[in-house]
Structure formats: structure tokens, C-alpha cells
Amino acid sequence: MYRSEPDPIPAPTGPLPALFEAIVRNHCVEATYNGGRVVLAPHVAFTRHSEVYVGATTIERDGQPPREEKIGVFKFTGLVDLTVTERSFKPSTLFDPRDERFAAGTLIAVERTAI
């Protein structure tokens, strides 16, 4: 018997596809960063010097909210045990996709119309 349809390509797994999913769905991620537990609202993934970085607002660090809202930059490899949460976020008005920190190497970013 012959199959008329090819086997579906399995979805990629791991922390980078999870990060991309979180950005597309506007969902927070949780991870350990520099020894502390963080909840981040990722707005952009980009490359710099062949490394992946994340531009995100911090929602919580060790259970506490930040003193001020800002778009911070996090080295992707430093985000240990990254998981996507069900907690959604509204993209920050501080996010500018043309920001020179990440504009040239953007891999994926929140939808501009969602801001």
C-alpha cells in the first residue's frame, strides 16, 4: 500500500523554538538567569557576534517586580531551563524594532501592530 501524503515534518523542539513561540504568541518565559529566577516578556530575538540574544521586559526577578520598565538584553545561553508560560503580555510601548542594539540582527520580534 502506498501513502499519498508524506510524513509531517516534526516541529522543532528545545529552548530556541520555545523562545520563538513565546514571541509569536506574546507569552512570558520563565528561566534562571545569573543565578536568579526571572519571568520575562520577550519582544525580540537577535544575533550579535554570532550569539543569540533576547530583548525583553522583566516581569519578575526572584518573585519581585522591577523598579522600572525597560527593554533589557539577555544572552540566550544564559537563560537556563527556559520554559514558555501561559501568562500573556502586552508588548511594551518602549520596544522599538529599529533600536540599534538589535535591529541589524533581528531573527524574530513581536508584531508591530500588537503594540
- Reported as a single tens digit per residue, the pLDDT across 80-113 is 999 999 999 999 999 999 999 888 899 999 986 5
Distance CA 39, CA 30 (A): 4
Confidence of residue 115 (pLDDT cuts 50, 70, 90): very low
pTM (two decimals): 0.85
| pLDDT exceeds cutoff 80 at 4 | no
Look at the block and give the residue holding cell 500588537.
Answer: 114
Judged against a pLDDT cut of 90, whether residue 41 lies above it is answered with yes
pLDDT of residue 13: 61
SS3 31: strand
Per DSSP, what are the bridge partners of residue 84?
29
- Strands 51-61 and 106-109 come out as unpaired
Which residue carries 535591529 as its cell?
Answer: 103
Sorted by sequence, the CB contacts under 8 Å of residue 71 that are 6+ apart come out as 43, 55, 56, 57, 92, 94, 95, 99
Across 31-59, average pLDDT? 96
Query: Residue 114: what pLDDT?
Result: 43
- Rounded Cα distance between 38 and 41, Å, is 10
Mean pLDDT of 70-80: 96
Helix (H), strand (E) counts: the chain? 1, 6
